Structure 1
Amino acid sequence: MKMENDVLSVEIAEHGAELTKLYNKKTGTDLLWDAEPKFWKRHSPVLFPNVGKTYKNTVKINGTQYPTSQHGFARDSEFKCIHAGKETSIFLLTSTEEMKEVYPFDFELFITYTLEKNVLHVKWEVKNPSDETIYFTIGAHPAFRFAKNEEGKTDYILKFPGKDELKYCLINMKEMAPDPEELHEMKLNEETYPLTEELFENDALIFDNTQIEEAWICHKDGTPYVGVKSEGFPSYGIWSVKDAPFVCLEPWMGRCDDIGFDKEISEKPGINKVESGETFEKEYQIVVTI
C-alpha cells in the first residue's frame, strides 16, 4: 500500500501492517531501514500484544500460563487493509482461534497511517468486543537509517528537547529482562547525547516514567534529521545493532517484564486494559526534516 503527498512517500505492507518505506521527496532520502537481514530483517514492526519479552517467555492470564514470543504476534500476522487512500490507510487485525492459543482474548486492532505535510501520524485502536476485560502492551519500533551509506553512529547525535538528564535501565543478558532498580544516568549536553556503538552493547536502552515524549536523530552539527513525538507514552526504547547504520526510536505503551515478574497479566506494571465494549486509542508521529 502506497501513500504520498508533496513531501513524503510511504509504503505499508499488509503483513504486520508494517511501514516499509519512508521517503523524503525534498531531499531524496530513504529514511527507513531497508530490512537487510545482515543486521535486522524488519523495518518498523508493530509490537502487540506484548512489547519485548515476558519473563521466561510466559504470561499468566486468569491462572493459566501461556507461551509468548518476543514482541508478540502482530508483526508476523496478516492484517486486512480496510481503507486505502492517498494520504490515509487503515489496517485491521482480528483475533483468531490460533492466536487464542497464546493470547486468549478477543480483540480488534486497527492501525491508521495518515500523512500531513512532513509528518506521518500512526494511530492504534484496540477494541474489545468481548464480555471480559482484556490486557496488553503495544509499541512502535521504527528503524531510521542514516542519510549516507558511508555514515555511522558517530556521525549522529540524539536530541531530547527540554531535557538535561535521563535515566534508563538495561537488559540483564543472563535473565533477558531489565532490573528497574539498576538505573543508569544519561547526562545531556544542550539536550543532546552522542551516538556510539558502545551505547547498545546491552541491547536496548529502556526509559520509564514518561521521560521521553519527543526524541530526534540529528546530524553531528545539530541539524535535525528525523524525530518521533509520542505524548503520554510511559516507556521508550532506543536500540540498534553493532555496526548497523540505523537507530530505532521506540515509544511504548507498556514494555517487557522486569526480572522475576510472575504475576497475573493484570498486575503487570504499565499494562493497558480495555473493558468490554470499550476502545483503547493512542497515537505517535514521525516527523521528517525538510
Structure 2
Amino acid sequence: MAVFLENDYLVATIKEHGAELASLRSKETGLEYIWAGDAKYWGRQAPVLFPIVGRLKDDQYQVAGKTYHLGQHGFARDRDFAIREQTATKVVLELKADEASKELYPFDFCLQLSYELTASGLVVGYQVDNPSQEPIYFGIGGHPAFKTPLTPKESFSDYELTFSADYRLPKIPLTNGLTDIDSARLGAPTATVSRELFKDDALIYDLEQKPTKVSLTSKTSGHGVSLSVTDAKFMGIWSTYPKEGQFVCLEPWWGLADTTDSNGDFTQKYAINRLDKAASFNHQYEITVF
C-alpha cells in the first residue's frame, strides 16, 4: 500500500512498507526526482536507516553481555509501518518494538516518520520515543536516491555536488564498510559526479552538527535537488560502482558505521544516540527541488 500527498506544486508517494519515499514529482515541469528502483543496480529508493546506520563489525553487537546480529542499516526499512496521521499534504507513519524486533534489537522504541509537502519540496521528520524505564541507544538516517540524470538529454557526469558550508568539511573514509576515523581528511566543497567518485564506497562528511545544505545540480539544465539539515551529525553521498545506477543518494545521518577498532559494545558505539526514559528524539531534513 502507498500514501499519496499533493499540493499545488508537487505530488509525492510514500510506501507503508519501510515508510519509504517512492516518488516526488513537480506538477509544473513533470520532472520525477526520485530513483525508480531497479534490482539490477539497487532495488531501494529511500530507505530509513534504523536502529543503525551502516555496518556493524562482524554484523553483530553486544548489549548487557548478550550478542545480537543485525545487517547493514538495520531492520526498519523492511518492516510495515502504520499510518498514524494523514492529510492531503502530510502523513505520519509509525513502527513500534515487538517480539520480532527484539530478536535483533533489545530496546523498546516508538519510531515515527513524517512527510510534509511544501511549495518547493518535502520535509522529512524523525521522531524516536523511549517508552521504557531504561536508556535506549540507536542510530538513524535517511538514504533518498535522486534520479541522475533528470532528463534523457543529460548524462550522469553533467551533475555537480556542492556544499553550502564556507569551510572544508572533514571527510571520513570507509575500510571494508567500517568507519576509519584515523584516516579522516578535509574534503573539497564541490565535486563533479562520476562513477570513479564512488569507487571507494560512500563519501562521508562530518557536518559537526552545523546547518548544511548539499545540492545536486545539472550543469546543463540547471535542474536538481538540495538537501538541508540543521543539526545532522554526518552526510553520506553514494551511488553504485562500477554498476551504472542512474541515481545519487544524499543521506543525512545521526549515526555511523562501526569504527574499525569497535569493541562491539552498543552503548559505546561511535556516534550512537542515547535516549533516556520517557525522552524523545526529534530531527528533520528538507528536500528542495528546482
> Scaled by the length of structure 1, what TM-score is found?
0.93
Q: Cα deviation per residue 1:1-45 (whole Å; 9 max; x = unaligned)?
A: 000111110000110011111101111111000011111101100
Partner of residue 108, structure 1: 110
Give distance in 2, aligned partners of 1:263 and 1:57. 10
For 1:225, give the aligned amino acid: G
Q: Is the 8 A contact 2:57 2:264 kept in 1?
A: no
Q: Is the 8 A contact 2:165 2:212 kept in 1?
A: no
Q: Number of aligned residue pairs: give it.
A: 284
Partner of residue 163, structure 1: 166
The alpha-carbon deviation at position 52 of structure 1 amounts to 0.8
Give distance in 2, aligned partners of 1:163 and 1:222. 25
The alpha-carbon deviation at position 273 of structure 1 amounts to 1.2
Structure 2 residue corresponding to 1:137, chosen from 136, 139, 157: 139
Say which is worse superposed, 10-19 or 146-155, in terms of deviation: 146-155
Give distance in 1, aligned partners of 2:278 and 2:209. 28
Structure 1 unpaired stretches of 5+: none
Matches within 5 A, 1:54-203: 54-145=56-147, 146-149=149-152, 151-173=154-176, 176-188=177-189, 192-203=190-201
Q: Cα deviation per residue 1:70-113 (whole Å; 9 max; x = unaligned)?
A: 10000000100112210110101011111101100111101111
For 2:248, give the aligned amino acid: V
The alpha-carbon deviation at position 245 of structure 1 amounts to 1.3
Partner of residue 261, structure 1: 262
RMSD: 1.6
Structure 2 unpaired stretches of 5+: none
- Of all paired residues, the percent bearing the same amino acid is 36
Q: Is the 8 A contact 1:45 1:141 kept in 2?
A: yes
Runs of 4+ in 1 over 4 A off after TM superposition: none
Partner of residue 246, structure 1: 247
SS of 1:165's equivalent?
coil
Partner of residue 286, structure 2: 285
Say which is worse superposed, 249-258 or 177-186, in terms of deviation: 177-186
Say which is worse superposed, 145-154 or 57-66, in terms of deviation: 145-154
SS of 1:105's equivalent?
coil
CA 1:283–1:82: 2 relative to 1, 3 Å? same
Say which is worse superposed, 135-144 or 223-232, in terms of deviation: 223-232
> Scaled by the length of structure 2, what TM-score is found?
0.93
Q: Is the 8 A contact 1:160 1:212 kept in 2?
A: no
SS of 1:181's equivalent?
helix
